[in-house]
Amino acid sequence: MSAITRDEVAHLARLSRLALQEDELDQLAAQLDVIISAVAKVQEVATGDIPPSSHALPLTNVYRPDEVHQGLSPEEALAGAPAVEDQRFRVPQILGEEE
């Protein structure tokens, strides 16, 4: 099993939307390497035609009647928001100027 590199950790951090510090990247590279080496043994056992279980119990789709219910009021839904404007969530810019 190849060691996990610091560049890979930086890539994972970008995918995970975590702006990690330089020292965190170093520390995580070492720790993830140890953890991944330890958990890699699942590959030795999981061979052949064993069906995967995503869940402990068999799942079936659950339907419910399409009925109108009282939901949260706009005030309740917005109560925990970091920023609100005109009864909406105010978010930072999503599209850059070039877009």
Partner 1 sequence: MTSAEERAEIIRLSAAEIGAAVKAGTYTAVQVTEAFLDRAAEVDGDISAFLHIDRETALAQARSVDTRLASGADLGPLAGVPVAHKDVFTTVDMPTTAASKILEGWRPPYDATVTARLREAGLVILGKTNMDEFAMGSSTENSAYGVTRNPWDLARIPGGSSGGSSAAVAAFEAPLATGTDTGGSIRQPAAVCGLVGAKPTYGGSSRYGLIAFASSLDTPGPFARNVLDAALLHEAFSGHDPHDSTSIDAPVPPVVEAAKRADIEGMRIGVVKEFAGEGYQPGVLQRFHEAVETLESLGAKVVEVSCPSFDTALAAYYLIAPSECSSNLARFDAMRYGLRVEDDGTRSAEEVMSLTRAKGFGPEVKRRIMLGTYALSSGYYDAYYGSAQQVRTLIKRDFEAAFKDVDVLVSPTAPTTAFPIGERADDPMAMYLADLCTIPTNLAGNAALSVPCGLAPEDGLPVGLQIMAPALADDRTYRVGAAFEAALNSKSGADLLSTSPYAV
List residues near partner 1 by CB under 8 A. Answer: 4, 8-9, 12-21, 24, 28, 31-32, 34-36, 38-43, 45-46, 50-57, 59, 62, 64, 72, 76-77, 79-83, 89, 91-94, 96
CB of 71 to partner 1, least distance (A): 10
Q: Which is nearer to partner 1, 7 or 40 (CB)?
A: 40
CB of 45 to partner 1, least distance (A): 5
CB atoms within 10 A of CB 25: 15
Start-to-end C-alpha separation, the chain? 41
For 43-66, b/e burial (b = at least 16 CB within 10 A) is eeeeeeeeeeeeeeeeeeeeeeee
CB of 50 to partner 1, least distance (A): 4
